[in-house]
Amino acid sequence: MVGSPNPNGSSSPTKKYGITNPISVAGPTDADLHRNDYLEKFLINSGLYESQEEAARREEVLGRIAEIVKDWVKLLTRQRGYTDQMVEDANAVIFTFGSYRLGVSITLCDFLDFFFRCLSSLLYGFKRKIANSCIM
């Protein structure tokens, strides 16, 4: 809580988020609400929202990918000779962002294709860098 004045002039404490003051604390105008409704209808009509079934399937796939990554981290930790407790404590987290976090996204198949193409490309490039830097 910060003791700076509210926009309405009172000096009661307000909660401040971040470092700077907000550009505006006013609510949405009627025009803002109209534009929001128009955008929502457009996104729905364009088929950019996932169905509940698609969203559940994507969550399931992301959960499985998270399990694989966590198992991989634990495997690496064990292979590096860390203690059993450190292996047990080792963890990894996958963060989603962008359109997925907004609930507007590409299909699951497109997502998986993109994910694995990018991942395999990154791993291949990483493998080449490691191979080129190894001293034999």
List C-alpha distances in Å: 24 to 6, 14, 28, 93.
Answer: 12, 14, 10, 35
- Single-letter code of the amino acid located at 39: L
Residue 2 belongs to some domain of the structure: no
**Phi/psi at 72 (nearest 5 deg)?**
-65, -45
> pTM score, two decimals?
0.53
Residue 85 belongs to some domain of the structure: yes
Residue 71 belongs to some domain of the structure: yes
Residues pairing with 49 in the sheet: 104
Task: Give the range of the structural domain holding residue 111, as residue numbers without chain letter.
Answer: 50-134
Residue 36 belongs to some domain of the structure: no
Residue 96 belongs to some domain of the structure: yes
Q: Give the count of domains, the chain.
A: 1
CATH number at residue 73: 3.30.460.10
Tell me what pLDDT residue 6 has.
52
Dmax over CA atoms of the chain, in Å, equals 72
Residue 31 belongs to some domain of the structure: no
Residues 130 and 80 sit within 8 Å (Cβ to Cβ): no
Task: Please report, in tens digits, the pLDDT of each residue of the chain (136 residues total).
Answer: 444 455 555 555 667 778 888 888 899 999 999 999 998 898 888 877 777 888 788 888 888 888 988 998 999 999 999 999 999 999 998 887 766 666 666 666 666 666 777 777 777 776 666 666 554 4
- Single-letter code of the amino acid located at 123: L
Residue 124 belongs to some domain of the structure: yes
Residue 41 belongs to some domain of the structure: no
